[in-house]
Amino acid sequence: MREPIYSYRITDYDRSLIPNRFVAFLDESVRGPDDWVARSGRSLGHPGWGLVYHMVIARLDPDHPNLIVETGTNVGSTALIIAQAIKDSGRTGLVKTIELDPGIAAEARQRADLAGMSDYIEFHEGDSLSVLQAILGPSDLVDVAFLDGSHFHDHVVQEFGLVHPHLAHDSIVVFDNTYAIAEDREDPRVNGALRTIVSQFGGNLINLPFTSWYTPGLAFWQQCAFTDMTPPVPGSFDPDS
């Protein structure tokens, strides 16, 4: 694994740019990696929060309830940013977020209460591959997915495979930690998973490798940018295949 590169995360900026006031409060004294983890968790930071916030607002559908799925809640900072986008848009939506660690999930719930975002977030605990299958019904349409649970290649591809049957042609999938940090013969991690996903599922991808912190990188995937496409029929995906 290559040495951590922390300089990609910007710290000297106007905290009023952070969309959610509670997250801005958490971030106001941050100056380095130890502060990030203690205050806002292993989250995107600036400008990643703004990118996700505005992307969600731009994608939310005014004609149906919007479903956003997140894996890897951590202490909830990104879920709060997404929930803030739903609130500010004036549209209907819900974030279904999944965290493996019950203790961390409990802290995320508490932070959602403090931030006034509990009505917009539904918390789930457990392994994302199992929970995704449990919370996504056959007819559910996922407008936005933020996949930030395990960062190992196979797990990322399997998460995407479970979400993919529920995506419309213009739904957006966001990946964190997309920088090519793996050395030869190591697990290719998220960067390698993106290559596999494009190979297997097609679609369009933009990768911003200098956003966020360790591992840096934020990527956005969409099946098709045109509106005259028929959304895929929801189906099933076997994470063990």
List, for residues 198-217, the tens digit of each pLDDT value.
999 999 999 998 888 888 99
- The single-letter DSSP state of residue 120 is G
pLDDT value for 31: 82
pLDDT value for 231: 53
> Rg for the chain (alpha carbons), in Å?
17
115's enclosing H/E stretch is: helix 102-115
Phi, psi of 136 (to 5 degrees): -105, 110
List, for residues 16-26, the tens digit of each pLDDT value.
999 999 999 99
CB count in 10 Å sphere of residue 109: 17
Domains and CATH numbers, the chain: 15-222 (3.40.50.150)
Contact (CB, 8 A) for 126 and 104: no
pLDDT < 70 regions, the chain: 4-7, 227-241
Nearest to 87 by CA among 60, 108, 110: 60
